Amino acid sequence: MTSLTFHLARGLGRAWGPGDEVVVTELDHHANVAPWRALAVDRGVTVRTVRMQPDTGTLDWNDLERTIGPRTRLLAIGAASNALGTISDVRAAAALAHAHGALVFVDAVHYAPHRLVDVQEMGCDFLACSAYKFYGPHIGILWGRRELIEAADVPRLDPAPQESPERLETGTQNHEGIVGAAAAVDFLAGLAAPGTPGGRRGALAAAYAELHARGEALLAQLWTALEAIPGLTLFGPRPGQPRTPTLSFVVHGRATTDVAQCLASQGLFASNGDFYASTVIERLGQAPYGVVRLGASCYTSESDVERVVAALRRG
Exposure string of 131-145, with b = 16+ CB inside 10 Å and e = fewer, is bbbbbbbebbbbbbe
Render 59-85 in DSSP notation, one character per residue.
E-HHHHHHH--TTEEEEEEESB-TTT-
Supply the pLDDT for residue 250. Answer: 99
2-183 CATH, one of 3.40.640.10, 3.50.50.60, 3.40.190.170, 3.40.50.620:
3.40.640.10
**Preceding omega of 288 cis (within 30 degrees of 0):** yes
Enter the pTM of the model: 0.97
Supply the pLDDT for residue 239. Answer: 97
Supply the pLDDT for residue 315. Answer: 80
CATH number of 206-314: 3.90.1150.10
pLDDT in tens, the chain (315 residues): 999 999 999 999 999 999 999 999 999 999 999 999 999 999 999 999 999 999 999 999 999 999 999 999 999 999 999 999 999 999 999 999 999 999 999 999 999 999 999 999 999 999 999 999 999 999 999 999 999 999 999 988 888 888 888 888 888 999 999 999 999 999 999 999 999 999 999 999 999 999 999 999 999 999 999 999 999 999 999 999 999 999 999 999 999 999 999 999 999 999 999 999 999 999 999 999 999 999 999 999 999 999 999 999 998
Give me the amino acid identity at 173: Q
Strands 232-235 and 103-107: unpaired
Tell me the β-bridge partners of 52: 59
Domain with CATH 3.40.640.10 in the chain: 2-183
